[in-house]
């Protein structure tokens, strides 16, 4: 009997045509997920589609432990999109706290307004309608359709991309930005059954978060270690462009965070002098404040006063 051909790293999606590799990955990963999935509030039935959408916005570039308390507070205050839509966008920024990347709060508020106006207050089930919401990109639309409605879509976050890179293409890390080849591979690996496809999306994501991690991966705990192309190749070191590191201290992002913290604490407009105290370097401070204004996160008022946006 001829052994199944392994996918070519150069064109893994084409190599999957007629190959049982997908099925060989699905069952062990989904079985592992059934036993090891974290009990997270957005995975519970009571979260509903809105809870799933809120979690997807919050979890972008932010770890679960930081998201959990803000998520709970958010859903307690705004259990439906219409509840958030009634508030000023600045309240969304205030409630976002220190999750980082606060433009996500504005985008989530904008999506809530659109849901209230276009869809009767219910998160749409159709993938195209989700994608048409402001602030919703390819990943978030697929994630909400899959996790909230059990639909069949490739869901490609950083964790899933890393699992596929290692298990299928034999590389330590995926490219810095999602490529057409990765999307093609993810589509080729999707189970045909909708429910199974949605479960695979969640399971492969959890595997990347808990086992197939960026550093210190736990191959001995991995349910597909016997099939993993990267492990079988001897775990070759990453040869692509350098991995992008995330710096924070001393950056404009840190200054923006300090300025927003002052405005979040205040429920009345804040004078320029209060903002000047948060950072010693005036040029960088002014640049950060100008950026916040340009992004719609801060609203300037006459007399050198500032507040979170009301519209």
CATH 1.10.340.30 range(s) for the chain read 41-149
* CATH architecture of the domain formed by 41-149: Orthogonal Bundle (1.10)
Which CATH number is 252-307's, of 1.10.10.10, 3.30.450.20, 3.40.640.10, 1.10.1370.30? 1.10.10.10
CATH fold of 20-37+154-233, please?
Endonuclease Iii, domain 2 (1.10.1670)
User: How far is Cα 309 from Cα 307, in angstroms, rounded to an integer?
Assistant: 6
Please tell me the predicted confidence (pLDDT) of residue 72.
Answer: 97
Q: Which of 23, 56, 217, 299 is catalytic?
A: 56
Residue 192 has pLDDT above 50, yes or no: yes
The CATH 1.10.1670.10 portion of the chain extends over: 20-37+154-233
What pLDDT was estimated at residue 22? 78
Residue ranges of the chain assigned to CATH 1.10.10.10: 252-307
pLDDT at 256: 95
Q: How high is the pLDDT of residue 4?
A: 36
User: Is residue 56 flagged as an active site residue?
Assistant: yes
pLDDT value at position 18? Answer: 37
- Taking only the tens place, the pLDDT of each residue in 121-161 is 999 999 999 999 999 999 999 999 999 999 999 999 999 99
Quote the pLDDT of residue 129.
98
pLDDT value, residue 13: 52
Residue 12, pLDDT score: 58
């Amino acid at each position: 009997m001829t052994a199944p051909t392994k996918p070519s790293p150069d064109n893994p999606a084409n190599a999957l045509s007629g190959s049982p590799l997908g099925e060989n990955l699905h069952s062990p990963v989904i079985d592992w997920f059934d036993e090891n999935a974290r009990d997270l509030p957005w995975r519970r039935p009571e979260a509903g589609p809105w809870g799933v959408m809120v979690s997807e916005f919050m979890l972008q570039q932010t770890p679960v432990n930081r998201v959990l308390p803000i998520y709970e507070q958010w859903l307690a205050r705004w259990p439906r999109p219409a509840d958030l839509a009634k508030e000023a966008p600045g309240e969304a920024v205030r409630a976002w706290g220190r999750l980082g990347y606060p433009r996500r709060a504005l985008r989530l508020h904008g999506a809530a307004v659109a849901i209230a106006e276009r869809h009767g207050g219910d998160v749409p089930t159709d993938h195209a309608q989700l994608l048409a919401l402001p602030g919703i990109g390819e990943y978030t639309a697929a994630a909400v359709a899959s996790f909230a409605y059990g639909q069949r879509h490739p869901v490609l976050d950083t964790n899933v991309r890393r699992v596929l890179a290692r298990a299928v293409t034999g590389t330590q890390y995926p490219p810095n930005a999602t490529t057409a080849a990765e999307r093609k591979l993810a589509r080729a690996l999707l189970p045909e059954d909708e429910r199974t496809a949605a479960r695979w999306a969640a399971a492969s994501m959890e595997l990347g978060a808990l086992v197939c991690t960026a550093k210190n991966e736990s191959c001995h705990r991995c349910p597909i270690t016997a099939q993993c192309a990267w492990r079988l190749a001897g775990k070759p070191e990453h040869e692509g462009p350098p991995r992008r590191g995330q710096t924070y201290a001393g950056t404009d992002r840190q200054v923006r965070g300090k300025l927003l913290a002052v405005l979040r604490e205040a429920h009345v407009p804040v004078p320029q002098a209060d903002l000047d105290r948060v950072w010693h370097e005036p040029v960088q401070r002014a640049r950060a404040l100008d950026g916040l204004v340009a992004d719609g996160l801060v609203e300037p008022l006459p007399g050198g006063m500032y507040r979170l946006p009301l519209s």
